[in-house]
Amino acid sequence: MSWLVLALFIAVVVQTLSIMLSGRYPYLAIVLAFVGGIVMVPASVIFLVGSLFSLQTRLTPDLRLAINHGSGRA
């Protein structure tokens, strides 16, 4: 299991706890939601960039060749 998946799992658990505690301890729930959001936003950006790069290399196979062999000039 990668560190990114583990961080996202912990963030989801913290977000769930914040929802469950929001009625009784609203300030604690806000802090937990904030902490979970701080973890989830950068991890989501990393996932989004990786997915977009994977999609781009799948749509344009020549791009992978240019990346592996420099600028592509002869």
pLDDT tens string, the chain, 74 residues long: the values are 688 788 888 888 999 999 999 999 999 999 999 988 888 888 788 888 888 888 888 888 776 555 565 555 55
Cβ proximity of 39 and 11 under 8 Å: yes
Domain residue ranges in the chain: 10-68
Give the count of beta carbons closer than 10 Å to the beta carbon of residue 17: 15
Cβ proximity of 39 and 7 under 8 Å: yes
Report the predicted TM-score, pTM, of the whole model to 2 decimal places.
0.58
